[in-house]
Amino acid sequence: MTAPIMPKSDAADLIVAARIRQGLKWSDIAERIGAPVVWTVAALLGKHPVPADKATMVVEMLGLGEGVTESLIQQPTRVADDAAATDPTIYRFHEALAVYGPALKELIHEEFGDGIMSAINFKVDVSRRPDPDGDRVVVTFDGKFLDYRW
Catalytic residue among 9, 21, 66, 92: 92
The Cα–Cα gap between 68 and 21 comes to: 17
Q: What is the CATH classification number for the domain harbouring 9?
A: 1.10.260.40
Q: Are residues 30 and 3 in the same domain?
A: yes
Q: Are residues 100 and 139 in the same domain?
A: no
| pLDDT tens per residue across span 116-127 | 999 888 888 999
pTM: 0.79
Catalytic residue among 21, 111, 118, 136: 118
Known catalytic membership, residue 95? yes
Q: Whose CA is closest to 6, among 78, 82, 73?
A: 73
Percent helix, strand, coil in the chain, to 5, is 55, 20, 30
Q: Are residues 109 and 121 in the same domain?
A: no
Q: Are residues 12 and 2 in the same domain?
A: yes
Q: Are residues 94 and 128 in the same domain?
A: no
| pLDDT tens per residue across span 43-82 | 999 989 999 999 999 999 999 988 999 999 999 877 666 6
Q: Are residues 73 and 40 in the same domain?
A: yes
Q: Number of folded domains in the chain?
A: 2
124, 142 in Cβ contact below 8 A?
Answer: yes
Query: Three-class SS string for 17-56?
Result: HHHHHHCCCHHHHHHHHCCCHHHHHHHHCCCCCCCHHHHH
Q: Whose CA is closest to 112, among 73, 134, 139, 144?
A: 144
Mean pLDDT rounded to a whole number for the chain: 91
Residue 89, pLDDT score: 84
Known catalytic membership, residue 92? yes
Q: Are residues 148 and 98 in the same domain?
A: no
Give yes or no for residue 106 having a pLDDT over 70: yes
Which residue range(s) make up the domain with 140? Answer: 115-150
Known catalytic membership, residue 70? no
